[in-house]
Amino acid sequence: MTTLAPARRETLHRRIRLIVAITIGYNLVEAGVAIAAGSLASSAALIGFGLDSAIEVLSAAAVAWQFTRRDPERWEKPTLRVISVAFFALAVYVTATSVLALITGERPEHSTIGIVLTAVSVIVMPFLSLAERRAGREAGSATAVADSKQTLICTYLSGAVLIGLVANSLFGWWWADAVAGLVIAAFAVREGIEAWKGDACATSIGMILEDEHHDEHEGPHA
């Protein structure tokens, strides 16, 4: 792995701090709007989406805290633990709400605000995830890469909730987002296990090599 010059490393650390600050701000707004809209529409999916945004704030805040330290690399492992717990908490909550929705057959009302909010998240979150992932890979930071995956899973959840809300409004398919939520929960468990098992050095290098291997097979993108 190429050794970064101190100036470049500091630039990447500032970039990561900026990205996680934007992520925290966006998710705080998203959480408030989603929970309010979900309460009005009696939508367990929207309320769960809002709580998921709160979990994303926890993960991003852990990374932000790490990169305010004098030696961020020293705090890789404990920060990975926090991100791992955030993944598990997300999986537990999404599983519980999805199963409960399937059992009770709760049919949420149409929510225009919920549809707009989740659609915006599907557009915004991938950019934040990609930016943090690139900076994390170059800096050799497992925590930044892991947090970017947390943001990406939140993107999938946004898409699942959006599909569920639209399918419920158009076709009465109230169960759609609950089923998608269970699939996303499985991915969250997998990522949580990877973050928990990985020590700072091995996880950083392993993720970078894995991503570079995929990039070589995918070829250049337009």
Note the maximum CA span of the chain: 57
- In tens, the pLDDT along 26-60 reads 999 999 999 999 888 877 778 878 887 887 787 77
What is the rounded distance in angstroms from the CA atom of residue 23 to the CA atom of residue 16? 10
Q: CA–CA separation, 187 vs 152, rounded Å?
A: 11
- Domains defined along the chain, listed by start: 6-218 (1.20.1510.10)
What is the reported pLDDT for 144? 85
**Structure confidence by residue, pLDDT tens digits, 67-116:** 887 777 777 788 788 888 888 988 898 888 888 888 887 777 888 999 99
Distance of CA 200 to the CA centre of its chain: 20
Q: What's the pLDDT score for residue 200?
A: 38
CA-CA distance, 204 to 111, in Å (whole number)?
41
Q: Cβ distance 143 to 37 under 8 Å?
A: no
CA-to-CA distance for 85 and 47, rounded, in angstroms? 20
Q: Return the DSSP state at 212.
A: H
Say yes or no to pLDDT of 221 above 80: no
d(CA 36, CA 114): 10
Mean pLDDT computed over 199-219: 42
How far apart are alpha carbons 109 and 209 in whole angstroms?
A: 46
Over 60: is that where the pLDDT of 183 sits?
yes
pLDDT band at 187 (very low <50, low <70, confident <90, very high): confident
With beta carbons less than 8 A apart as the criterion, state whether 100 and 181 touch: no
**pLDDT, tens digit, 9 for 90 and up, residues 114-135:** 999 999 999 999 999 999 999 9
Instruction: Round to whole Å and give the CA distance between 158 and 181.
Output: 10
